[in-house]
Structure 1
Amino acid sequence: MQQEFRNADGELDARTDFDWPDFGTCGEYDGKEKYGRLLRPGQDINAAVLYEKRREGVLRDHGRWTIRWGVDELNDPVQLRRIVTTGLKFGLWSRRAG
């Protein structure tokens, strides 16, 4: 389900957890580790959040709207369904509008 997005030179721009290309949407699971033990040496949470914001901009350049969920949403199927369904609709809408 993961998808790699590469620039014109073939270099990796981003890798997502899920991708729905027909809807112009990708999905990311944000576990607690992402902003905890997986921080790079010397990186703080603020830097990690700013990195993720820039990364979402790169994914938009690749024609993808990004949706995110965490463990709480995984444990609530109704909430997870809402997040994914809304994201797919928005990604499809933005693809048609663009």
Structure 2
Amino acid sequence: FIANHGGDHTIYPDCRPEFINAIDSAANAGTFNNVRVVAPYTKITKSDIARRGKELGLDYTETWSCYKGGEKHCGKCGTCVERKEALRDAGIDDNTEYEE
């Protein structure tokens, strides 16, 4: 499983649908036990993913996005900024502890 999303395409070429389809085909063709690459979020936004989590009752304070690591989210790196935007756009109160 890979948790890439539609917003990753411009930054990470290995998150594009074409790559995901190609690597899935290669993994399947190159193994005897039908290995597959499953990437259910490839064509949706991070906000869409947040909405799905909200529908499932996910507690976002129990999730991690920060590239920096540490005790708290830095609040400044690309994934922290995307996290804030996605939760806002999905109508979710962001109770994440940020360093800032």
Instruction: Give the TM-score of the pair, scaled to structure 2.
Output: 0.27
Structure ranking higher in strand proportion: 1
Structure ranking higher in helix proportion: 1
Larger Rg: 2
